[in-house]
Amino acid sequence: MKTYVLAAMATMATAALGAPVWAHDFELGDLTIAHPMAFETAITAQTGAGYMIITNNGETDDRLIEARADFPRVEIHQIIRDGDIMQMRPLEAGLVIPAGETVMLEPGGYHVMMMGLPAPFVVGEEFPLTLVFEQSGEVEVMIKIEERVVSASGHDDGADHGDHSDHGDHSDHESHGDVDHETTEEVSE
Ligand SMILES: [Cu+2]
């Protein structure tokens, strides 16, 4: 039931912005935020991670200093390798987006951590996330929830992220139920 609420909220937020419903790159001054997404989560998951690609086309460094969404806690995290142990830590000073460069928020690296999820992330749904930058100000992006890909060879998220043509057409959105998304249906009911 809760998942319907999440979907409805996302739809309203998109409509309010007047943006094309499936446009999936966001602009803020000299910044481009491409393909904001999260993977579906297990029913018991308390947290979810948001990923995106932020490009600074300007001549001044910027800094992602805050992220906000409708969850009890949202933080900008980095992953630190300490020997064999991978640890997540909040980026206290924010995440620098250097002038003329692209910073990836991706699995195993920087991410937006959403904590205290009221319901699992379900494939095909989306929710608003507000990003606050030191120089450019703030922008609301839509995080789209995608199927978690598990493969022994490792899924190359970076490659997917670069290809926006995949995301212009979301006609597959409606047909998710026919494919193999049993989890989606179970959760929705
Ligand atoms: Cu984290």
- The pLDDT value recorded for residue 142 is 96
Length of the chain measured in residues = 189
> Separation of 89 CA from ligand 1 center, angstroms?
7
For residue 158, pLDDT beyond 50: no
> Separation of 74 CA from ligand 1 center, angstroms?
9
> Separation of 3 CA from ligand 1 center, angstroms?
22
> Separation of 59 CA from ligand 1 center, angstroms?
30
Q: What are 7-36's pLDDT values in tens digits?
A: 444 444 444 444 444 448 999 999 999 999
Q: What are 32-62's pLDDT values in tens digits?
A: 999 999 999 999 999 999 999 999 999 999 9
- The pLDDT value recorded for residue 82 is 87
Q: What are 66-82's pLDDT values in tens digits?
A: 999 999 999 999 999 88
Q: What's the per-residue H, E or C state across 125-187?
A: CEEEEEEEECCCEEEEEEEEEECCCCCCCCCCHHHHHHCCHHHHCCCHHHHHHHCCCHHHHHH
**Domain edges within the chain:** 2-148
- The pLDDT value recorded for residue 13 is 44
Q: What are 104-124's pLDDT values in tens digits?
A: 999 999 999 999 999 999 999
> Separation of 111 CA from ligand 1 center, angstroms?
6
> Separation of 41 CA from ligand 1 center, angstroms?
14
> Separation of 189 CA from ligand 1 center, angstroms?
29
> Separation of 69 CA from ligand 1 center, angstroms?
15
Q: Quick one: pLDDT band at residue 149, thresholds 50, 70, 90?
A: confident
Lowest-confidence range among 5-9, 93-97, 124-128, 129-133? 5-9
> Separation of 108 CA from ligand 1 center, angstroms?
9
> Separation of 174 CA from ligand 1 center, angstroms?
31
- The CATH classification number of 2-148 equals 2.60.40.1890
As given in the structure block, the two tokens for residue 177 are 């139920």
Q: How far apart are CA 102 and CA 3, in angstroms?
A: 33
